[in-house]
Structure 1
Amino acid sequence: MTDAIHAAHAPKAVGRYPHARRVGELLFLSGIGPRDPASNGIPGNVHDAEGRLIAYDIAAQTHAVFANVRAVLDASGARWEDLVDVTVYLTDMARDFPVYNAIWAEYFPDAATAPCRTTLGITALPTPIAIELKCIAVAPKDRGD
Structure 2
Amino acid sequence: MNVTIGNPAAAPRPLGPYSQVARVELADGGALLYLSGQIGDGEGIAAQTHGVFATLTALLDAHGATLADIINIRTFLTDMDDLPGYAAVRRTYLTGTPPTSTTVAVPRLFRPEALIEVEVVAALPPLADRN
Scaled to the shorter chain, the TM-score interval is 0.7 to 0.9
Structure richer in helix, relative to its length: 2
User: In the alignment, what sits opposite 1:43?
Assistant: 42
Partners of 2:80 and 2:105 within 8 A in 1: yes
User: Which of 124, 128, 133 is 2:108 aligned to?
Assistant: 124
**Do structure 1's residue 104 and structure 2's residue 90 form an aligned pair?**
yes
Deviations 1:80-109 (A, max 9, x none): 110000000111112x11111111222234
Deviations 1:98-145 (A, max 9, x none): 1111112222344xx121111111011111211111100002473643
RMSD between superposed Cα atoms in Å: 1.7
Aligned length: 123
Structure 2 SS opposite 1:65: helix
Q: AA paired with 1:137?
A: A
**Do structure 1's residue 79 and structure 2's residue 76 form an aligned pair?**
no
Q: AA paired with 1:16?
A: P
Structure 1, unaligned runs of 5 or more: 35-41, 45-56
Q: AA paired with 1:32?
A: Q
**Do structure 1's residue 135 and structure 2's residue 120 form an aligned pair?**
yes
Structure 2, unaligned runs of 5 or more: 26-30
User: In the alignment, what sits opposite 2:49?
Assistant: 62
What TM-score do the two structures reach when normalised by structure 2?
0.84
Q: AA paired with 2:33?
A: L
Larger radius of gyration between Structure 1 and Structure 2:
1
**Do structure 1's residue 28 and structure 2's residue 12 form an aligned pair?**
no
Question: Relative to structure 2, which stretch is displaced further, 114-123 or 98-107?
Answer: 98-107
Structure richer in strand, relative to its length: 2
Q: How far apart, in 2, do the equivalents of 1:5 and 1:83 lie?
A: 19
| Identical aligned residues as a percent | 37
Structure 1 residue 79: deviation in Å?
Answer: 1.2
What TM-score do the two structures reach when normalised by structure 1?
0.77
